[in-house]
Chains A and B, each alone.
Chain A
Amino acid sequence: MSIQKQAYNALEAVVGSKYISDDPVICEGYRSGPGGYESGLGYERVMTKIPGAVIMPKTTEEVQQIVKICNRYKVPYVPYATGFYGPRSHCHVENELLIDLKRMNQFEIDEKHFYIVVGPGVIYSPIQQEAFNKGAYVVIGGGGAQASAIANLIGDGWSPLSHRIGLPHRRILGTELVLPDGELVKMGSLAHGDDPFWGEGPGPDLRGLLRGFTGLRGCLGIVTKMAIKTLPFQPEPLIPTGISPNTALALPQKRVKWVNYQMPSKAAQVKAMFEIGKAEIAGAVTKVPLFWRAIAKAECKEEFWEIWGKENEDTIKNFFIVRVLLIGYTSEEQMEYDENVLNDIMKELGGIPRPTKPSDESWLKNADSAGMWLMCGSYVSVDYIIESLSQATVHGEYYAELKRKYTPPLMPDYGDPGWFQSFELGHQGYSEFLVYWDQDEDTTGVDHFYLETSKMNIRERFYTSLLGPHQPLFLTGPKYGPNYHEWLLKVKNEFDPLWVCHPPVPLAHDDFVNRAEWMKPLKDWESPEKLPMPEWK
């Protein structure tokens, strides 16, 4: 269970013996599972392996050398930052090298021009604080402040703050990518110089290789440096309060304020989001699942179930909240203007203000998703998709309906249609649907549900985040684009002809369905008898 000796020696010469190990104890620490995300599912059991060795480079040059050695000795490898993304970002084949990028943890901020240059080992927590200190802010995605900023931005990169901060793709500036064969490509203004302030060009924009919508899970190279756009915030400090785990940021109420409104109907709830977007006000506009409120209130699993057990289909059906974050970017007067406009909209639509804490528990600094494990032990976001508000506000209902068939093993949530919100002042809408289960139970139903969502999205003509390496490529490929899978595989073959970079992604879910007996009854799409990639033992 380790990589070949010659390769190991060559790798050791690059980083020194301190930063490479094939000690089974060390490698065991990189097993997929304990994180909770997608944990215990069939995909994790069938597709993930413990690494054959772990290496920790410090510089881009070291990453390049490592990747070139892997190509020379045909050693499969996977880039790894914080490992939040569960099984999909862990080793998938035997004797694989895990390249842990934590040591590349330097960052630098350009206050005047609103960007932060980060390495892949930099997590959100310090850069958000530094941004706050300089009058700016970033979006901390649902992965939380402990997630790698680069990994998050090439696979995710949103939160309710995206109402104003917008599509994550827009915030990726000058970037360094080590291609799967070890060649380095510098994008944007880094192509010509040392300052990464600008993202695209020269000419066609190679940032198209970085992510697709929800990322490539590292199968097209390793990002070693990225400049991330920040946005101007407001000048007042946000004061940390409370004692862990009940911490929060006290908000200066004349400059930052959450306001909750109870709406009389789903139609009014949706209309409010459209109108707030059209009025071009607020820093966030969102509707979250009701059980998140129970998560926030509960301090243990038992307490969660006590709170949640009081709900029923009717309370869920009649829960129409709109949660709005007001930010005085310009001045207190701008904040007042936003609040006046918001009140006008709510008055027209019958929205009733609800008591709201003068603090932020999550989205500004923490985006703490740790509570998601609380109820059952495992969870996954089966979809998290930016489209229009028209799609976003109905998408979850289809998920909820499909979910009934698979509950249990999925956690009963009384048909809650999930989370939706505005993006880019209502030019886009976002929907996310999360499911929970106990990994100690039979999870076959969860595996089936996950795959069936893909078929539901195809049938109902929804756009979905579960494309590329997140579902069987030969299932989704013909139905989106159409045939985006053919182009993706051609690009993969061009830049990674040996498929050493995180194999068998992007065909890992196809491979999983082929290998998991309990998935075979669901396979009703065409795919090659032998998947078009090298076999890894």
Chain B
Amino acid sequence: MRIKNELAKIVGKDYVSESMEDRVKYSRDESLLPPGIPDAVVWPGSAEEVSKVVVWCNEKDIPVVPVSSKVHFYGCTIPKQGGIVVDLGRMNKILEIDTENRLARFEAGVTWEQLVEELEKKGLRPILPLLPPGNRSVLTDTLEREVSTNIVYDYGEPMQSAEVVWPTGEIFRCGSASVNGFPDSKSRGANPSGPGLDFYRFLQQAQGTMGIVTWISIKAENIPKIDKIFFAPVEDLAYAQDFLYRILPRRIGQECLLLNNVDFAAILSAKGFGDFDVLRAKLPPWTLILTISGLIRRPEEKIAYEEKFLNQVLTHEFQKMALTDNLPGFPGLGRLLMPMLRRPWPSNLPYWKSTVKGGFQNLFFITKPNQTPMFMEIMEMVASRYGYPIADIGSYIQPIEHNRACQVEFTFFYDPDDDVEKAFIGDLYIDAAKALMNEGAFFTRPYGKLASIIYDRAANYTMTLKRLKKVFDPKNIMNPGNLCF
């Protein structure tokens, strides 16, 4: 009762709970990590309330676990050492859409569905990761640097300024929003950098361990006037990568990705395009998906020069790359997929990865595109060692910025009610991660059990992170038990 009464003084009695039902709800997520029960849950309505909660927790040495999304896949919101869950879901306002400067500023609880809809009314769009759950927090995915399907360099690193409540309770604005009196200021908050240090960098990929970010602003882009989508069946991954090395640096394309038959079948079947097993059997091993767009001025001319370049490359250099506007055997695929790539996954439908077996575990890393065939072989070796059919693993390759790098994601599907299978997948996941890491896969986002493996291999980075953390969070109250903290 004592905690509840104290927190009720800050957020109001309707916005704090110690009920077992609420605590259990926040004790687990969609990951394989074990549950952890919080002592209480609060739903603050403002940065000032967040600050007071954090100050109170700091005085009492109580862990604070920030939560913004309604769905979580990586275990970082599980209260590993108890404490207070601070759910920012009530802070769900889009604070401004500045069409002239093409920026949007919004609170932590704003979802992809909400933001896409509101931006669309102004002719703008956010740049999205691949089919993110509609009820995920945009702020969380942006801070965690979810890789987007769009490869246009100029759209990259969309985060601009941010407001953070530091672990000691101070409210602080990063970047050019740091000016006195913001947003009633000449500065619009368009620059993430500064003041003094690049504080925003400390908050990225931090899993809520460095502070609670209450709003961010991001770059918004114009909605193209015309879009065209192309598909190519891919048997030889190295050949496809050579093709992407040829076209993406020449600034061809908007969305561009490679999906294996498992992931693509999961997406299409979850959208009602057919049966998963039938699709998986019928789809090529990989499908290259590429869109080109005509922008707000002379859209047809833009489409024309990109198509001309593509045709020249296909005709003279990559005759085996069968890039056309539909995938053979799948009529209507383009019409289905093009709008999907610009929207989140509808929150009223089961998430596409959950439709295969119920549960799933992602394993993703950054590498160079020409190394992807090697990493596919490594995954095959590890899976075969476990007797796990490679035909059941989802694979997704996301080129980044003109194909200078890419993210590779493997997805293991499992039955969440089968404890034996869960344990098996957990072991496979860790062993695969180690094998990939040994060959140079770079894991930028150390979640759950991966964290200790990753930080053990990065001794000086880990020590420096701990020193920095001590400056901002001397009592280590912010989401303890994650990363190396």
Contacts and interface: CB of A to CB of B under 8 A. Distances in A.
Interface of A: 112-115, 135, 164, 166-167, 169-170, 179, 183-187, 189, 191-193, 195, 197-198, 200-214, 216, 229, 231-232, 274, 277-280, 329-331, 333-334, 336-337, 340-341, 344-345, 385-391, 394-395, 424-429, 458, 460-463, 467-468, 473, 476-477, 479-485, 487-488, 490-491, 494-495, 506
A244 B36 CA distance: 71
B250 interface: yes
B206 A208 contact: no
A487 B197 contact: yes
Nearest to B201: A208
Contact of B196 (A189, A195, A330, A488): A488
Given A112-B370, A480-B180, A166 B199 contact: no
Contacts of B298: 337, 340-341, 344
Given A202-B443, A331-B309, A337-B301, A278 B368 contact: no
A166 B444 contact: no
B353 interface: no
Contacts of B182: 461
Interface in B182-213: 182, 184-207, 209-210
Interface string B59-103: 000000000000000000000000000000000000000101111
A185 B461 contact: yes
Contacts of B308: 331, 333
A475 to B, nearest CB: 12
A114 B249 contact: yes
Contact of A480 (B179, B405, B437): B179
A185 B197 contact: no
25 contacts: A169-B192, A192-B437, A200-B145, A200-B201, A204-B465, A205-B205, A206-B201, A229-B401, A232-B250, A278-B296, A279-B295, A331-B308, A333-B309, A387-B188, A388-B103, A391-B188, A391-B190, A428-B191, A461-B186, A463-B194, A473-B196, A477-B196, A480-B195, A485-B196, A488-B196
Most chain A CB within 10 A, of B210, B306, B404, is at: B404
A95 to B, nearest CB: 28
B74 to A, nearest CB: 12
Contacts of B180: 458, 461, 479-480, 482
Contacts of B181: 461
Interface stretch (B12-20, B277-285, B467-475): B467-475
Interface string B392-430: 000000000110110000000000000000000000000
A390 B98 CA distance: 11
Given A388-B188, A460-B186, A494-B470, A202 B455 contact: yes
B204 A204 contact: yes
Contact of B465 (A112, A206, A340): A206
Interface secondary structure of A, over-half rule: mixed
Contact of A203 (B156, B185, B206): B206
A167 B451 CA distance: 30
B31 interface: no
Interface string B236-264: 00000000010001111000000000000
Given A212-B198, A458-B180, A198 B442 contact: yes
Contacts of A192: 437, 440, 442, 454, 457-458
Contacts of A277: 102
A114 B451 CA distance: 29
A201 B305 contact: no
Contact of B198 (A115, A210, A483): A210
B231 to A, nearest CB: 22
Nearest to B199: A208
Contacts of B196: 212, 467-468, 473, 477, 480-481, 484-485, 487-488, 506
B402 A491 contact: no
B200 A337 contact: no
A227 to B, nearest CB: 11
Most chain B CB within 10 A, of A330, A485, A488, is at: A330
B467 A495 contact: yes
B170 interface: yes
Nearest to A274: B100
Contact of B197 (A115, A193, A212, A232): A212
Given A191-B460, A386-B190, A391-B187, 10 more contacts: A198-B444, A206-B202, A279-B296, A331-B308, A388-B189, A424-B219, A462-B179, A476-B195, A479-B179, A494-B470
A94 B202 CA distance: 35
Contacts of B404: 113-115, 197, 229
Contact of B154 (A166, A216, A477): A166
A477 B186 CA distance: 19
A341 B445 contact: no
A204 B252 CA distance: 32
- 5 cross-chain pairs, A with B, having the tightest CB-CB distances, nearest first: A208-B201, A213-B194, A461-B185, A201-B444, A463-B176
A115 B471 CA distance: 33
B378 to A, nearest CB: 15
A506 B458 CA distance: 29
Interface in B424-464: 437, 440, 442-446, 451, 454-455, 457-458, 460-461, 463-464
Contact of A191 (B101, B172, B191, B461): B461
B200 A487 contact: no
A453 to B, nearest CB: 14
B199 to A, nearest CB: 6
Interface in B275-332: 295-298, 301-302, 304-306, 308-309
Contacts of A191: 457-458, 460-461
A386 B189 CA distance: 10
Given A209-B197, A390-B101, A427-B101, A204 B368 contact: no
Contacts of B368: 112-113, 195, 197
Nearest to A332: B305
Nearest to B303: A337
Contacts, number: 316
A189 B187 CA distance: 34
Contact of B219 (A112, A184, A214, A427): A427
Nearest to B170: A483
A420 B298 CA distance: 27
Contacts of A201: 205, 442-446
B157 interface: yes
Nearest to B458: A191
A66 to B, nearest CB: 18
A377 B67 CA distance: 57
Given A114-B249, A192-B457, A208 B198 contact: yes
Contacts of A195: 368, 440
A366 B370 CA distance: 34
B173 interface: yes
A170 B470 contact: no
Most chain B CB within 10 A, of A207, A390, A488, A506, is at: A390
Contacts of A334: 251, 305-306, 309
B483 A330 contact: no
Contacts of A390: 100-101, 186, 188
B83 to A, nearest CB: 20
B55 interface: no
Given A201-B445, A387-B188, A463-B179, A331 B305 contact: yes
Contacts of A216: 197
Contacts of B386: none
A409 B468 CA distance: 45
Contacts of A485: 196
A440 to B, nearest CB: 35
B453 to A, nearest CB: 10
B464 A183 contact: yes
Contacts of A495: 467
Contacts of B201: 169, 200, 204-208
B222 interface: yes
A212 B461 contact: no
Nearest to B224: A280
B374 to A, nearest CB: 14
